[in-house]
Amino acid sequence: MADAVQPQFCPWCGTPIPYEAHEHEPRYEVLAEQARARGVDPPPLPERVSEILAGESFVGACPGCRTVSHVVAHHAR
């Protein structure tokens, strides 16, 4: 399995821009925490599913079109 590739360009105008890794909590983690707060212990997701959902996200600000882009890179197989 290859590592996710960090995006290099603005998806809107194609300007090369630096992206930074952007920490985010995957949605399924938030849901699991909410369930635990209610006293429910949700079963863990299969590893394959959580990999697909998690991805890696990056954020980059484009000086060309002044758009801030959030990009989620998924692992290529």
What are the residues binding Zn ion (CB under 5 A)? 10, 12-13, 15, 62, 64-65
Q: Amino acid identity of 50?
A: S
Tell the smallest beta-carbon distance from residue 66 to Zn ion (Å).
7
Q: How far is CA 21 from the centre of its chain?
A: 9
**Tokens (6 digits) for 36:** 């635990």
Query: Contact 21/56 with Cβ under 8 angstroms?
Result: yes
CB of residue 28 to Zn ion, shortest distance in Å: 31
**Cβ 51 to Zn ion shortest distance, Å:** 30
Between 35 and 65, whose beta carbon lies closer to Zn ion? Answer: 65
